Structure 1
Amino acid sequence: MQKMARNVKRFAATTLSVAAVALYAVAATLSAASADEADAKKLLKAMSDYVTAQKQISFNYDTNLEVVTKEHQKLLLASSGTIELDRPDKIRATRHGGFANVEMTFDGKTVTLFGKDANVYTQVDSPGSIDHLIDELRDKLHRPVPGADLLLPNVYDELMRDVTNVKDLGSGVIGGTECDHLAFRAKEVDWQFWIAQGDHPYPCRYVITAKKVDQGPQYSIQISDWKSGTDVSAADFGFKNATDAKQVDLKKLGDIDELPQHFAVGGSK
């Protein structure tokens, strides 16, 4: 009987020790996850604050837009361009792809969309800030600025809206620049950021995955030749019709978006 009691005590002690180790491991994992989440948010906030603080910015970009066919084949549409801005109310953006070669200029009062290949342009009065223009282009004119999320003054708040999961994935290298790699999950999309390490935490790559769309297509923008402040060359943000382009209504401007007109937009899952 005494031997049995000793065995029971030994078994109980062993079980409790294993349980304690398991609980410690779970606690350590949760603690590490919390630390990673806090670090990721801190890094994203630092990028947001840095970008917002820059009065002048210029960079080159490359985008990839995935399109899924009815047969579940993924097609990748690629384009490149440039962005120059002078806060609060001046911006120039170009995009050149297989279906579009367009330049947008905004001088604080008038936005001009210039289709270079067709040599036509349209102008819309939209006095206000760059932030106001971005909203107008997206919501009313349906001509979003590439990487517009990154140009808003409240980048962090906009990106963190509806986020349910945050991960710090360590380091990655984009275009030779070492970056912090962060991953986020929201209700409708997953998104990732690669942010340059150091005193100038600018965004190097931004990838969005549409979870609610069949096959989860992605949109990505990769940034290079980032410049800010005094490194940015002075730019003229007014439209100069140097090619005798014809002025037309916006509806007749033709393909100026990343998704060409003959691509039909389908439904979600």
Structure 2
Amino acid sequence: MRNRSLAAAMAVLCLTLLAAPAQAGTAIDPKADALLRAMASHLQSLAAFSVTEKSLVDRVFPNGQKVAFAHATAIKVARPDKLRAEAAGDNVAGTWVQNGPVFQVYDAKSKTYVSLDVPPRLEAALDAALARLRLVGPMVDFLAADPYKSMMEGVLEAAYIGPSEVGGRPCHHLALRQLTRDFELWIDAGKAPWPLRLAATDKTLHGDPRTLVEYADWKAAPGFPAKTFAFTPPAEAVRAKVVTPPAAAGTPKP
């Protein structure tokens, strides 16, 4: 599972995903692997979908205290090259839109926006946009051309923890581990293996901050009207200049 750390006025699009812990001495549990493959295959099969998510994102203060910030995001996706996310919360209010080779982010708090030329495919477009804007984009793995491969990148261990429940819905609880991050994933045990909850702990940052995301109202769709992915900044909005960080300079990795 990939991580992209980027910082700007709008820092959450919790569209992203997994990686794993497990019991000491184990590697990839076959049951956990089968569930991950089924979930990934289901997401990959969708031409278009919508989902809402609620997240709690830790910020660790210098004194070590953790403070959680809440966000809610409504997301619509149409493969291969369209995305709209409307986010609001404690420190976020804005819109993300990808429409083919153009990616726009509008921050309602500062009334600023950026517009970027990006590769047309969702995965590559998000890679490029997140790297340039230094934003956190947690749902990139769900949107990858090969979600399973993307989710399992860097995973050292994956375990099936057991049956659980999210919002009254029976689910499977998995734990995955990377070298620098731990993840937990709850997958719907019903007819469609939707991801219902994601917890991620970043062991590289002071205080090991945690992000908890709950997904709801998953809906497969045949498509969306073209206007869904059209975005015109408000008249008072100011276009911000994007300075590419040295590490992200050059051609974006596809």
Query: 1:67 matched to which residue of 2?
Result: 59
Looking at structure 2, the residues matched to 69 and 246 of structure 1 have their Cα atoms a distance apart, in angstroms, of 32
State the TM-score, normalizing by the size of structure 2: 0.78
Tell me whether 1:138 sits opposite 2:138 in the alignment.
Answer: no
- 2-structure distance, mates of 1:170, 1:96: 33
Gaps of 5+ in 1: 1-29, 253-269
Post-superposition offset of 1:89? 0.6
1:235: Cα distance to partner?
5.5
Displacement, 1:111?
A: 1.5
Residue of structure 2 equivalent to 1:15? none
Residues of 2 paired with 1:71 and 1:117: CA distance? 28
Matches within 5 A, 1:1-269: 37-230=29-222, 234=225, 236=227, 237-241=229-233, 243-250=234-241
Instruction: Name which structure has the greater RCO, CA cutoff 8 Å, separation 6+.
Output: 2
2:104 partner amino acid: T
In structure 1, what is the Cα distance between the partners aligned to 2:178 and 2:113? Answer: 38
Contact 1:149–1:159 under 8 Å retained in 2: yes
Q: Which has the higher helix share?
A: 1
Deviations 1:5-33, CA, capped at 9 Å, x for gaps: xxxxxxxxxxxxxxxxxxxxxxxxx9xx7
Q: What is the total number of aligned residue pairs between the two structures?
A: 218
Contact map agreement 1:121 1:245 (CA 8 A) in 2? no
Aligned to 1:267: none
> Which has the higher mean CA deviation after the structures are superposed, 72-81 or 143-152?
143-152
Deviation readout 1:218-244 (Å, 9 max, x if unpaired): 1122111111134x6546201134x42
What TM-score comes out, normalization by structure 1 length? 0.74
- Cα distance in 1, alignment partners of residues 61 and 95 from structure 2: 29
* Change over 3 Å in CA distance of 1:120–1:180 after alignment to 2: same
- Give the unaligned 5+ runs of structure 2: 1-22, 244-254
Deviation at 1:186, TM superposition (A): 1.4
State the alpha-carbon separation in 1 of the partners of residues 206 and 179 from structure 2: 15
For the 8 Å contact 1:137–1:144, the answer to whether it is kept is no
> Which runs of structure 1 show a deviation greater than 4 angstroms over 4 or more consecutive aligned residues?
none
RMSD: 2.3
SS of equivalent residue, structure 2 residue 133: coil
AA of the residue aligned to 1:147: M
Rg (Cα) greater in structure: 1
| 3-state DSSP of counterpart to 1:46 | helix
The whole-number CA distance in structure 1 between the counterparts of 2:155 and 2:92 is: 33
Q: Is the 8 A contact 2:123 2:140 kept in 1?
A: no
Query: Helix, strand or coil for the counterpart of 1:42?
Result: helix
Change (3 A) 1:123 1:213: closer
Contact preservation (8 Å) 1:137, 1:145: no
Q: Alpha-carbon deviation of 1:143? A: 2.7
Query: Partners of 2:204 and 2:134 in 1: how far apart?
Result: 21
Kept in 1: contact 2:197–2:213 (CA 8 A): yes
- CA offsets 1:57-89 (integer angstroms, 9 cap, x no match): 101111111122222111111111111010001
Deviation of 1:202 (Å):
1.1
